[in-house]
Structure 1
Amino acid sequence: MRSLLTGTALGGVLGALTVGFAAMAWPQGQDAPAPPEDPRVATYQQIELFAEIFARAQRDYVVPIDEREAMESAINGMLTSLDPHSSYMDPEDFRSLQVQTSGEYGGLGIEVTMEDGFVKVISPIDDTPAERAGIQPGDYITEINGQPIIGQTLNDAVKEMRGEKGTEIEITILREGVDPFQVTLVRDVVQQKSVTWKKEANDIAYIRVSTFNERTGTLLEEAVEGINREIGARPKGIVLDLRNNGGGLLDEAVKVSDFFLSGGEVVSTQGRRPIDVERRNATKAEVFKDVPLVVLINGGSASASEIVAGALQDRGRALVVGTTSFGKGSVQSVIPLGADRGAIRLTTARYYTPSGRSIQALGIEPDIMITPVRLTEEELAKIQRFSEADLPHALANESGIERAKLRMPDEQPPEGFEGEDFQLDRALQLLQEGRASASRLAMQEDKAG
């Protein structure tokens, strides 16, 4: 009924415009100006075009088409053309998303996106089949069980990768610098225990946050209680590891930031209209107040991870160490469409760090750039970047600032380094040396000197 009323009203408006302009006289030799085009007219014309094409496909395609699947694909195509993070979810996909954000599902354990027709890995999740198999950020998945991914949607590919615990799946990986290779994985229940911690030397607490799901804030609170029991209320320092954390729920990012801040802004979001502004503030008492804090990030740190790193960096609470983050500075809303109709995931806002900067397509630049492996300038020049800015249809940064060029790191592993994690080693050393208490300005002065 609503569509019919809208269409009738539009027809009335068009009729009035036609009669009005027909009754007017214009000087000889001058063309009458074209009537202003009502944007609704163009929209309805495009909908009519779509309906005509859909009807022709129904009638004339060589075999009968699955009408529901064709319609869902058309809707999804419209949304994915907007940006890489907007999409349509059919009812099954929507249920899967709800399961995933609750923290447990059957599958491989990877955060993925779609690029150039292939599934591209943003980051593997800790202690999952994908992480144990050595899947890396930036890997392309080109085949699943011998079947090419080209032509599938991201949702279709994700469905194929999920499954019951104990079942096998073979994926073909395309990785820069090596020939394509196959990996056989055994699906498992992906229990996203998103927060873990351990005691390091000299009473330093290491906290790992691997994703931001519905339980992340609660699990961090449990970790804090454990640190209080085993180390005490004032550890010598804290490392907050957000590397390869592909993001998650905005609310949980705010909760995590709140643990380390005494009031003040964590993040703001700006929607399409000037009035669509929301500011999220820290509200709880800061735990481990004045305890030196280092945050570890890398190219797999995205979205909610960048909110936390950006807030702690801007507020001068933490020293951010590692490599430039992914650069996803947008917020998606999941909008249910009613019973058995699925939902849409739609980009509805950009987010900004407390200083007002947008990291969209730029990422968070660390205070000290430390690479996990040793690089020469020649090797640096050959690196193929993988970030938000490289995704098809990615939103531009509205500030006009261009992404920083790759540069040689401030620090990298020495020749012959035999440790497991140079970035973490250096974070611990910075805390032991008292350098994590220095302001970013002081760190920059040290580098300049």
Structure 2
Amino acid sequence: MPKSLLRTLGLLAAGAAIPTTMMAVQNARAAESTAQDNDTYKQLDQFMNVFQKVRADYVDKTTDKDLIKGAIDGMLASLDPHSSYMDAHDFQQMKLTTDGNYGGLGLTVQAEDGVVKVVTPTEDTPAWKAGIKSGDYITHINGKLIYGSTLDEAVDQMRGDPGTKITLTIVRPGRDKPFDVTLTRENIVIKPVKWKVTDNIGIININSFSKQTGADTRAAIAGIDKALGHKPTGYIIDLRDDPGGLLDQAIETADAFLDHGEIVSQRGREKDDIERYYAKPGDDAHGLPIIVLVNAGSASAAEIVAGALQDQRRAVVMGERSFGKGSVQTLLPLTDDTALRLTTARYYTPSGRSVQEGGIQPDISVPQLSDPDYKDRPKFREDDLRRHLINEAKVDDSVLEADSKTDPRFAATADQLKKQGVNDYQLSYALQTLSRLAPAGSGTRVAQALPPTSADIPVAN
């Protein structure tokens, strides 16, 4: 038989085998899918078995509603610290927070090991005025141990009518003994943006990212110009202890200082699930120098703004490494009064950095020397939370943060600074840095204002 005919027959035979091979692959995939489905059904059967056993044999009578909610909470808690189920009670609490019509202390808190851990106190609230700090543990409320209580139960106890008093027992790492703090509840209405002028420098303090933050930031820039009658030397954007908030307001705030380029991108599970957000033409700050202040309490939306301005070379970031929350939560309605708060994406700075775990690293590290506890008090960040999302590209700076050698630039003590009238060393350092850019002979002028109060207080994202 001629070789050409043999080759032809071989090709035909191979061609005939192709459909058979494809069918085999499809059958294998179908079998794998069926096996997975069967395993899922087995797991659901196991869940129902446990559910029925608890209903029938648990020492105290239970309700199906509580058991199912507990199961849902446990499922979401196994994912990451920021995914959660919101029942009718949680919805009501969110509404109270959003409306701002409640008596409280002004704390963002997290449950940890059966106690309540402070993420950050909000500026100008009772907790902030009382000196409660990020990383503090609340163990007792009005002398009653709260160990083992749910976070909702603890938050409910801390809220109450404005004007009423409450005593919290605080355990602060670095201190030998717990101590009590008595506070008076206030009506919590957070002013998302405040501004003032010092030494011809505009200071814009952003405390949260609610529905008005972007507009209030632009109003602050205009207010500074009007108070001075001319442009300032530069701006300080204070994002310290800002727990975050709404993504669109972070974008609008960053856009106020940028006239082009990417601000942030968010990326979901699939490779092509990417959404990018860009600055619009026009820089409200007219290209003037900017310093951004961050610390371990600067999270989420605050990190988006700091990261965008840093990557676009628009600002110098000073202070301490930020919190490191680089995930996006989406509110998915389930019924009229329940919803799922689910982590659906990670966000990235313009250069492609994920701040998850690692946070925003300042260009110039400046310790808060005016805080007498700053050396002994551990910093509380995203990577301290159980089951936080892992960032494979995270830079390990634990050795640098543990360095006990004193930087000669930062050798002053809190007592020495207090005698000099310096109550906020990081802000003072930023002011001195920008003041070097001021024209010779320029005077000092001080003005300040608060924008119209916004009733929108965001749930920290």
Give the structure-1-normalised TM-score.
0.83
More displaced, 345-354 or 59-68? 59-68
CA drift of 1:167 comes to: 2.4
1:388 paired residue number: 382
* 1:60-209 alignment runs, 5 A limit: 60-178=57-175, 179-201=177-199, 203-209=200-206
- Kindly tell me: are residues 183 and 422 of structure 1, through their superposed partners in 2, closer, same or farther at Cα, counting changes over 3 Å? same
- Could you tell me whether the CA contact under 8 Å between 2:172 and 2:377 is conserved in 1? no
1:362 counterpart letter in structure 2 = G
1:426 is matched with 429
Corresponding position: 1:355 with 2:351:
yes
CA distance in 2 between partners of 1:167 and 1:73 (Å): 32
The residue identity in structure 2 corresponding to 1:345 is R
Alignment of 1:363-442 (within 5 A): 363-373=359-369, 384-399=378-393, 401-405=395-399, 406=401, 407=403, 411-412=409-410, 414-415=412-413, 416-418=416-418, 419-434=422-437
Equivalence map 1:175-254=2 (5 Å): 175-178=172-175, 179-201=177-199, 203-232=200-229, 234-254=231-251
Unpaired runs of at least 5, structure 1: 1-34, 436-449
Question: 1:409, CA displacement in angstroms?
Answer: 7.3
1:77-115 Cα shifts (integer Å, max 9, x gaps):
211121111111111212322442455543110111122
What is the CA–CA distance in structure 2 between the aligned matches of 1:409 and 1:258, rounded to whole Å? 38
1:322 aligns with 2:319: yes
SS in 1 for 2:89: helix
In the TM superposition, what is the alpha-carbon distance from 1:286 to its structure 2 partner?
A: 0.9
Deviation per residue, 1:231-267 (Å, 9 max, x gap): 2452111110001111111111111101000121100
Q: Deviation string for 1:259-285 (max 9, x for gaps)? A: 000121100000111122110111252
Please list the CA deviations of residues 154-180 of structure 1 after superposition, one character each: whole Å capped at 9, or x if unmatched.
233222222221222222211012211
SS at match of 2:90: helix
Offset, 1:375:
10
Q: Residues of 2 paired with 1:261 and 1:404: CA distance?
A: 33
- Residue 288 (structure 1) aligned with residue 285 (structure 2): yes
Q: Where in structure 2 are there 5+ consecutive unaligned residues?
A: 1-30, 439-461
Q: Structure 1 residues 375 and 252, CA, compared in 2 at 3 Å: closer, same or farther?
A: closer
Report SS of the residue matched to 1:246. Answer: coil
CA distance in structure 2 between the partners assigned to 1:112 and 1:284 by the alignment: 38
User: Is the contact between residue 100 and residue 187 of structure 2 (CA under 8 Å) also seen in structure 1?
Assistant: no
Query: What is the SS of the residue equivalent to 2:304?
Result: helix
**Percent identical residues:** 46
Q: Out of 330, 336, 342, which is 1:346 matched to?
A: 342
Q: Which of 220-229 and 77-86 deviates more? A: 220-229
User: Between Structure 1 and Structure 2, whose CA radius of gyration is higher?
Assistant: 2
- The alignment's C-alpha RMSD in Å is 2.2
| Separation in 1, partners of 2:274, 2:42 | 34
Aligned counterparts of 2:165 and 2:65: Cα–Cα separation in 1: 30
Change (3 A) 1:39 1:402: farther
Find out whether 1:44 has 2:41 as its counterpart.
Answer: yes
Equivalent pair of 1:413/1:422 in contact (CA under 8 Å)? no
Which amino acid in 2 is paired with 1:142?
A: T
Instruction: Answer 1 or 2: higher relative contact order, Cα 8 Å, separation at least 6.
Output: 2
CA contact (8 A) 1:233 1:288 kept: no
1:417/1:123 CA distance change after superposition, 3 Å: same
> Distance in 1 between the 2:371 and 2:125 partners?
29
Q: After alignment, is 268-277 or 62-71 more displaced?
A: 62-71
Please give the secondary structure, in 2, of the residue aligned with 1:434. coil
Number of matched residues?
396
Comparing 320-329 and 183-192, the one that deviates more: 183-192
Q: 1:149 to 1:311 in 2, by over 3 A?
A: same
Equivalent-residue separation in structure 2 for 1:236 and 1:104 (angstroms): 39
Residue in 2 that maps onto 1:6: none
Q: Secondary structure at the match of 1:417?
A: helix
1:315-351: CA deviation from partner (whole Å, max 9, x where unpaired): 00001000111111111111121123x2121111111
Residues in 1 aligned to 2:202 and 2:323: alpha-carbon distance in whole angstroms: 26
Change (3 A) 1:321 1:348: same
Preserved contact between residue 299 and residue 322 of structure 2 (Cα < 8 Å): yes
Say if 2:370 and 2:425, in contact at 8 Å, map to a contact too: no
User: Which range moves more in the overlay, 229-238 or 307-316?
Assistant: 229-238
CA contact (8 A) 1:246 1:302 kept: yes
Match of 1:256? 253
Q: Secondary structure of 1:191's match? A: coil
Matched, 1:266 2:263: yes
Distance 1:400 1:211 in 2: 26
Whichever residue aligns with residue 351 of structure 1, its letter is: Y
